[in-house]
Structures are given as structure tokens and as C-alpha cells.
């Protein structure tokens, strides 16, 4: 094993070297290190402040957009309600018009039926009259002789 021999002069020389090196480094580098750390601290602080500003702006925009979205949703619901009401009114109007047209068509059909009924009755009367005339003529031909016809005509003109 290797033992380290420590001599007091070596320790003192090492302490003096470390002290001198510390003093030299402090004189030469201390200002630069402090300035670097100060600049870094300021830069970090500035970035933190900028981040906070941006966060505040983002929250403000978020609130504004939320408000706009609520307004748009409310407007959409209002438009939807108006559209439903208008559709309902149009449906009611169409139903009313359809019912009126149906009533008119029923009235026209009833009028045509009544007219056709009257015409059918008139045709039936004419047919019945024709049949009655034809039957009367047949009956009269069989039972009435030409001399009876002449007598009936003469009686009619005399007023008997």
C-alpha cells in the first residue's frame, strides 16, 4: 500500500497557492460572474413577467371568446326558436288552406252530385213519360178503335 507523506511545508504551500488563486480569480472573474448571474436573473425575471402578461392576455381572450360563444349560442337558440315558430305558423296556414280547399272540393262535388241527381231525375221522368206514352199508345191501339178516336176528338172540341 502506498502511504502519503504529508509534510507541513507542502500543506502550507498548497494553502498559499489556493489562497492566491482564489484572490486572483476573484479579482479577475468575480465582476464577470456577478454580472452574468445578474443578467441571467434579470432575463429570467423579464421572461417570467412576459409569460405572466401573456397568460393574463390569454385569460382575457379566453373570457372574451367564452362570452362571444355564449352570445352566439343564445343567438342560435333564438334563431332556432323563431324558425320553429315560423314553421309552425306555415304548417298551420297550409293546413287551413288545405282544409278550405277540401271544403270547396266537397261543396263542388255535392253541387255536381245534386245537379247530376236532378238531371237523372229529369231523365227518369222523361223516360217514364215516354214509357207511359208508349204504353198508353199500345193500350189505346188495342182497345180503342179508330171510330172511338174520332169520337174522343170531336167530344174534346165540343167541350163535353
Residues of the chain falling short of pLDDT 50: 1
**pLDDT tens track for 116-153:** 999 988 887 777 777 666 666 666 665 556 676 667 66
pLDDT value for 12: 93
Q: Is residue 85 part of a domain?
A: yes
Q: How many CB atoms lie within 10 A of CB 32?
A: 9
Is 104 a domain residue?
A: yes
C-alpha cell at 67: 362570452
DSSP secondary-structure letter at 159?
T
Distance CA 9, CA 105 (A): 133
Answer whether residue 154 is part of any domain. no
> What pTM did the predictor assign?
0.42
155 domain-assigned: no
Q: What pLDDT is stored for residue 83 in this prediction?
A: 94
Measured distance CA(128)–CA(134) in Å, rounded: 10
- How many domains does the chain contain in total? 1
Q: Examine residue 65 and state whether it is found in any structural domain, yes or no.
A: yes
Q: Is 74 within a domain?
A: yes
Instruction: Confirm whether 117 is domain-assigned.
Output: yes
Q: Is residue 151 part of a domain?
A: no
Residue 24's domain comprises: 12-144
Amino acid at each position: 500500500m502506498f502511504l502519503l507523506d504529508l509534510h507541513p511545508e507542502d500543506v502550507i504551500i498548497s494553502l498559499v497557492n489556493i489562497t492566491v488563486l482564489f484572490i486572483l480569480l476573484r479579482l479577475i472573474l468575480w465582476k464577470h460572474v456577478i454580472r452574468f448571474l445578474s443578467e441571467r436573473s434579470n432575463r429570467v425575471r423579464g421572461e417570467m413577467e412576459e409569460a405572466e402578461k401573456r397568460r393574463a392576455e390569454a385569460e382575457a381572450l379566453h373570457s372574451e371568446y367564452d362570452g362571444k360563444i355564449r352570445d352566439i349560442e343564445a343567438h342560435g337558440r333564438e334563431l332556432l326558436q323563431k324558425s320553429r315558430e315560423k314553421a309552425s305558423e306555415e304548417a298551420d296556414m297550409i293546413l287551413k288552406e288545405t282544409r278550405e280547399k277540401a271544403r270547396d272540393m266537397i261543396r263542388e262535388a255535392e253541387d255536381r252530385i245534386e245537379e247530376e241527381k236532378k238531371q237523372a231525375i229529369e231523365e227518369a221522368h222523361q223516360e217514364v213519360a215516354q214509357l207511359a206514352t208508349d204504353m198508353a199508345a199500345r193500350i189505346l191501339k188495342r182497345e180503342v178503335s179508330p171510330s172511338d178516336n174520332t169520337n174522343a176528338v170531336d167530344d174534346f172540341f165540343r167541350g163535353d
